[in-house]
Amino acid sequence: MILQRRNRILRATPAIRAMVAETIVTPNDFIAPLFIDEGENIKTEIASMPGYYRNSLDITVKEVKELWSLGIKCVLLFIKCKDELKDNTGKEAWNKNGLMQRSIKAIKDAVPEMYVMTDVALDPYSSYGHDGIVENGEIINDPTVEALVKMSISHAEAGVDMVAPSDMMDGRIGAIRAGLEQSNFTKTGIMAYSAKYASCFYGPFRDALESAPGFGDKKTYQMDPANRTEAVKEAIMDVEEGADIVMVKPGLPYLDILRDVKNAVDVPVSVYNISGEYAMIKAAAQRGWINEDKAIIETLTSFKRAGADLIATYFAKDAAKLLGQ
Ligand code: PBG
């Protein structure tokens, strides 16, 4: 054959493949989610997330040091609230001495350079397991936004770098920005979970925090998986309201949305490689059906290729180790 162009030339050796790779994943891209529990020296494996743990704060601080040493620059904190502190107002969420507030301080004291983000939503604190306040079986928007503003300010007081509202209430980004400004937290950022879908893939996360909704589902606030244009609308509105970073969540089933949002906004875009996506890779790898290490890197590469600037992923530590080899 006499061919004019031979595409395999650029695939022939590891050197040329590395030279022409269009997408590069580094630990700088990672946001490591951490689940924090009360107590001391407690490390509980999450049943539906093999190899991932909910840790007491002392162990979490050690973990953060290790993550920093591996080149990971950012952690995203979630806490498991005790049942007796849960109610329908979510007021434990802005308790100055709450587990979240203590965790932010302890992590910032131990590793000041680590960029600390916190999840902002009422579900871990809600007796109903919903992201907002419930009235007559409905999740009511405006009073929930007031609660989220208090929660965000209290995280800022504890020293958080960026709050990450994951509740999908209307108007919360603008309200949180205004609340932070009025309280003089002009350096605290907002990463908006802008396009967050009502997904079945959150199941393992809800096991981790025991935060599954007590009634109904989250479809009146999280997005319909059928919708695409709406994700762009959500992201653009959040940027207008003051979001510094916008997120698409889940990740793998929504790579098209990630690309659409990336093309539509002028702020960095993050993606959340969520608990169910972690569980699927782990489960298949445990059965010997896929190669775990390769699946991790291929998955993370797909997010970068689709347009993610940042990736929240339970594989952050494993991937940092793999990339460092
Ligand atoms: C809470 C929240 C959820 C996740 C992040 N923040 C669960 C939910 O909305 O029900 C999911 C993370 C994951 O599945 O890894 N608002």
pLDDT digits (tens, 9 = 90+) for 29-72: 999 999 999 999 999 999 999 999 999 999 999 999 999 999 99
Q: Which of 218, 249, 304, 317 does the annotation list as catalytic?
A: 249
Q: Are 253 and 200 in contact (CB under 8 A)?
A: no
pLDDT confidence tier of residue 210, bands split at 50, 70 and 90: confident
DSSP state of 224: P
Within 6 Å (CB) of ligand 1, which residues are found?
119, 121, 123, 131, 166-167, 202, 205-206, 218, 274-275
**Tens of pLDDT along 112-124?**
999 999 999 999 9
Residues 295-316 have a mean pLDDT of: 98
Task: Look at residue 258 and tell me whether its pLDDT is greater than 90.
Answer: yes
Please state the atom number of ligand 1 nearest to the C-alpha of residue 211: 10
Separation of 211 CA from ligand 1 center, angstroms?
9
DSSP at 161: S
Q: Which atom of ligand 1 is nearest to the CA of 274?
A: 15
> Cis omega before residue 204 (within 30°)?
no
CATH number of the domain residue 79 falls in:
3.20.20.70
User: What gap in Å lies between CA 104 and CA 115, rounded to an integer?
Assistant: 10
In a domain, 14, yes or no: no
- Count CB neighbours of 21 within 10 A: 10
Separation of CA 325 and ligand 1 centre (Å): 31
Determine the distance separating the centroid of ligand 1 and the alpha carbon of 227, expressed in angstroms: 19
Is 2 domain-assigned?
no
Decide if 13 is inside a domain: no
* 324: CB partners within 8 A, 6+ apart: 27, 70, 71
10 falls within a domain: no
The answer to whether residues 270 and 310 touch, using CB atoms and an 8 Å cutoff, is yes
Q: Tell me how far apart the alpha carbons of residues 54 and 97 are, in angstroms, rounded to a whole number.
A: 20
- Output the CA angle 63-311-218, nearest 5 degrees: 100
Instruction: Assess if residue 12 is contained within a domain.
Output: no
Cα distances from 125 to residues 100, 209, 243, 284, 285, in angstroms, run 11, 10, 24, 33, 34
Taking all residues of the chain, what is their mean pLDDT, rounded to a whole number?
A: 97
Instruction: Check: CB of residue 248 under 8 Å from CB of residue 195.
Output: yes
Whether residue 16 is contained in a domain is answered as no
Question: How many domains does the chain contain in total?
Answer: 1
Q: What is the pLDDT of residue 70?
A: 98
Q: Which atom of ligand 1 is nearest to the CA of 121?
A: 16
Q: State what percent of residues in the chain have pLDDT above 90.
A: 97
DSSP 162-188: EEEE-S--TTHHHHHHHHHHHTT-TT-
Residue 274 within any structural domain of the chain:
yes
Does the active-site annotation cover 321? no
pLDDT digits (tens, 9 = 90+) for 145-190: 999 999 999 999 999 999 999 999 999 999 999 999 999 999 999 9
Kindly indicate the confidence band of residue 321, based on its pLDDT and cuts at 50, 70 and 90. Answer: very high
User: Would you say residue 19 lies in a domain?
Assistant: no
What is the extent of the structural domain holding 96? 25-323
